[in-house]
Amino acid sequence: MKNIKTIIIILAVAGLGYLAYTLANSEGSSRLSSEALSDFAISDTSTIDKLVISDTEGSEGITVLKEGGKWVSEAGDCIQQHLVQTMLETIKYIKVKGPVSENAIENINKTIAAHHTKLEIFQHGKLTKTWYVGDPTKDQYGTHMLLKVEGVGKSPEPFIMHLPNMYGNLSTRFVADPLLYKCTEVFQYDPLEIASINVELPDSSDQNFKIVAQDDNTFKLFSNEVELTNFDTAKVRNYILNFRKIHFEHYNYELTEAHIDSMKSENPFYKIEVLNDKNELNRVDIYKRKYQIEKYGLDGELLEFDQDRVWVVLNDGTVVVGQYFVFGHLLQNIQHFTKPS
């Protein structure tokens, strides 16, 4: 009886080991290639119409599609084109720097299996190649990668890959976090599309102002519903031009929902509303960003608020980080436009 139990345990362990090996090396129905594969590059990247990026670090992953000459998310949303172009550039120009030494192949394969960025490449709607991008070499001049080719199988050996004249890990060129793909524009208007701009300073309401565009390409300026006649038209025009291209820096990775609720319970630093000629309203609330650590100014004073960045609550309630360098052009008050009496 004891021998039978031992045999059963051995068979079970062997079966589990074989299953793990099969899953790790053949990914379901795929098979191992009979030879090492190193043909990672695709010279004609215009044939690529879909990319799927994921990783082993817990990112949600993203699928991007080419539609009408532009790249969009699987849901059809706008994405940042330069991220896709970086991947396509890598796909086109990547080269083999060298093979992995025979005595290191097993360890590198295990490392790639546990830690990689995965890129699935589709051409004309069909999956053709899958890259497994691992860690850089010790000298940082190459990256361990494994290739799988549809219809051929997964390479049993990894290769050291690189981009000529590039130093560092190629996996940084393949972003799996979908948040980083989202378009970052806050305001992007042709000045002729703007019907009005309303700016409020909740803690200094006497400095509120509103600009209303007229059909004859002139403007009216209001201060708390009182129309002003003595104002600098050139400054009004220049202010409107600032709304052609305002982008935030990045999404919120810092504030919890509780922190966001607490921030929103306070008065914003600025409220800005833009109404376009289609009667569509776009509003943002801007809050000063408190330092989480002790920070001192040039005069040695303890600073409470970030001098370079602000929190921006977008029209849909999303919280993002904006730079003063960008948003500062919008943070004006009525005195900016009025002429001395």
Give a three-class secondary structure readout of 236-303.
HHHHHHHHHCEECCEECCCCCHHHHHHHHCCCCCEEEEEEECCCCEEEEEEEEEEEEEEEECCCCCEE
Asked whether residue 10 carries a pLDDT value surpassing 60, the answer given is: no
Residue 316 CA to residue 322 CA, distance in Å, equals: 16
pLDDT at 168: 82
pLDDT at 297: 66
Residue 239 CA to residue 194 CA, distance in Å, equals: 12
pLDDT classification of 15: cutoffs 50, 70, 90: very low
Domain positions in the chain are 31-181, 185-336
Q: φ, ψ for residue 234 (rounded to 5)? A: -60, -40
Look up residue 137 and give its DSSP letter: P
Residue 155 CA to residue 133 CA, distance in Å, equals: 13
Asked whether residue 279 carries a pLDDT value surpassing 50, the answer given is: yes
Lowest model confidence (mean pLDDT) among 90-94, 107-111, 244-248, 295-299: 295-299
pLDDT classification of 30: cutoffs 50, 70, 90: low
**Mean pLDDT of all residues in the chain?**
89
**Residue 207 CB partners (closer than 8 Å, separation 6+):** 201, 333, 334, 335
pLDDT at 303: 79
Q: Are 76 and 63 in contact (CB under 8 A)?
A: no
| Residue, of 174 and 12, whose pLDDT is higher | 174
Asked whether residue 121 carries a pLDDT value surpassing 90, the answer given is: yes
Half-sphere exposure of 162 (CA within 13 A, CB side): 15
Q: How many C-beta atoms surround the C-beta of residue 136 within 10 A?
A: 19
Bridge-based pairing of strands 246-247 and 159-162 is unpaired
Residue closest to 329 by CA, chosen among 231, 195, 134, 199: 199
pLDDT classification of 21: cutoffs 50, 70, 90: very low
Average pLDDT for 97-120: 95
Residue for token digits 């990247």? 45
pLDDT classification of 2: cutoffs 50, 70, 90: very low
pLDDT at 291: 77
| Structure tokens given for 240 | 């409107």
Residue 61 CA to residue 178 CA, distance in Å, equals: 6
Average pLDDT for 276-281: 96
| Residue, of 9 and 169, whose pLDDT is higher | 169
Identify the H or E element spanning 313.
Answer: strand 302-313
Look up residue 182 and give its DSSP letter: B
pLDDT classification of 25: cutoffs 50, 70, 90: very low
pLDDT classification of 305: cutoffs 50, 70, 90: confident
Task: Identify the three-state secondary structure at position 34.
Answer: coil
Residue 103 CA to residue 133 CA, distance in Å, equals: 20
| Residue, of 146 and 10, whose pLDDT is higher | 146
Asked whether residue 89 carries a pLDDT value surpassing 70, the answer given is: yes
Asked whether residue 4 carries a pLDDT value surpassing 70, the answer given is: no
Average pLDDT for 124-147: 95
Half-sphere exposure of 103 (CA within 13 A, CB side): 0
Lowest model confidence (mean pLDDT) among 13-17, 117-121, 255-259: 13-17
Question: What value does the CA radius of gyration of the chain take, rounded to a whole number of Å?
Answer: 28
pLDDT at 183: 92
Asked whether residue 23 carries a pLDDT value surpassing 50, the answer given is: no
| Residue, of 237 and 293, whose pLDDT is higher | 237
